[in-house]
Amino acid sequence: MTLGRFPATRPRRNRQDDFTRRLVAETTLTVDNLIWPIFVMEGTDTQTEVASMPGVRRVTLDRLAAHVEPAAALGIPALALFPITPTSLRDAEGTEAMNPDNLMCRAARVLKREFPDMGLIGDVALDPYTDHGHDGLIRDGYVVNDESVAVLSRQAVNQAAAGIDIIAPSDMMDGRIGVIRRDLDAQGLTGTRIMSYAAKYASAFYGPFRDALGSGGLLKGDKKTYQMDPANSDEALREVEQDLAEGADMVMVKPGMPYLDIIRRVHDRFAVPTFAYQVSGEYAMLTAAMDHGWLDRDRTMLESLMAFRRAGASGVLTYFAVDAARRLRGG
């Protein structure tokens, strides 16, 4: 074609009306792609809003079924459970994590009874249970690896025994997937899946989550000796490779929106179910702008979630899950 002639190839032709746009769309976002993180707390007949996460509530167990009902009715496939442990039950060793009647286990039993078809994802890390807010055990001021893994594995078995379907280690200790898989199998929990937080970064975007859990004020120092450096991307591939070799069924990248490049690389390289966590700080950032009227709520929410799918994610853990599901169902 000679320069200056009107182009025969016109990408805009395929954008001119809705039916064509729908025909050529490369990516879909459906309710099946959504996982809803929820916060449970002790007490009765109470719910409190997380100040830095407008619209996100902590609920007591007697209110849990009512809280989850809309998600179940909309067909959201799975929930990720996070317990708020009273300070009086926290200690340096995270002992409460192994209690078969801890809040997480009781919540799992309530949910399995009320919603037998709903998938339950249990976060494995000691930070909801330690008085220092770290994900593992501290010896001489350092979060130690192997001793932490032994405890994390007991936490995982405890959760699986209570009915958690998918164990999601978010602690970033080395070798924990292999140990957890071995110990689950030894207990006959061979069907329990593992969704590894394989590439989890030491991120400032977790701030509001730590407010939600009440672990933010407790945290001494930072998590940089175990969570990944935001500067690194090749290292994420090595983390994922190792977790898959140890038996992970699915992997996760976290945070989400600032790390879409990592999702893309992981999915291209390994072709395994890859999940993304649109974390608390991303939710806080978006809702702050939405609540000011600076961003259109529905469109921004759905675009942000579609971006994860385009990057290669099978699904997204998102605090928008129920709202997004409603929109996707045409509500």
Binding site for ligand PBG (CB under 6 A): 123, 125, 127, 135, 170, 206, 209-210, 223, 279-280
> Of all residues in this chain, which one has the CB nearest to ligand PBG in the complex?
209
Report residue 84: phi and psi, to 5°. Answer: -100, 110
User: Active-site residue among 220, 223, 224, 254?
Assistant: 254
Specify the residue, 102 or 170, whose C-beta has the smaller distance to ligand PBG: 170
Q: Are 289 and 37 in contact (CB under 8 A)?
A: no
Shortest distance, CB of residue 216 to ligand PBG, whole angstroms?
9
Instruction: Say if strands 34-41 and 57-60 run parallel, antiparallel, or are unpaired.
Output: parallel
Distance from C-alpha of 186 to C-alpha of 86, rounded to nearest angstrom? 32
- Closest separation in Å from C-beta 128 to ligand PBG: 7
Nearer to ligand PBG, 33 or 318 (CB): 318
246 vs 283 by CB, closer to ligand PBG: 283
- As beta bridge partners, residue 84 has 41
Cβ distance 157 to 98 under 8 Å?
Answer: no
- Say how far residue 15 (Cα) sits from the centre of its chain: 34
Q: C-alpha distances in angstroms, 84 versus 1, 41, 53, 215, 267?
A: 65, 5, 15, 9, 33
- Cβ proximity to ligand PBG: between 123 and 246 the closer is 123
Residue 207 CB, shortest distance to ligand PBG, in Å, is: 7
Q: For ligand PBG, give the closer residue by CB, 41 or 279.
A: 279
Identify the active-site residue in 200, 220, 223, 224. Answer: 200
Known active-site residue 224: no
Shortest distance, CB of residue 148 to ligand PBG, whole angstroms?
12
Report whether 91 contacts 138 (CB < 8 A): no
Is 254 a residue of the active site? yes
Which has the closest alpha carbon to 278: 229, 312, 320? 320
Token pair listed for 114 = 């009320």
Residue 328 DSSP code: H
Q: Residue 319 Cβ, how far from ligand PBG at the closest point, in Å? A: 7
Q: DSSP per residue over 65-80, as a string?
A: HHHHHHHHHHT--EEE
Active-site amino acid positions: 200, 254
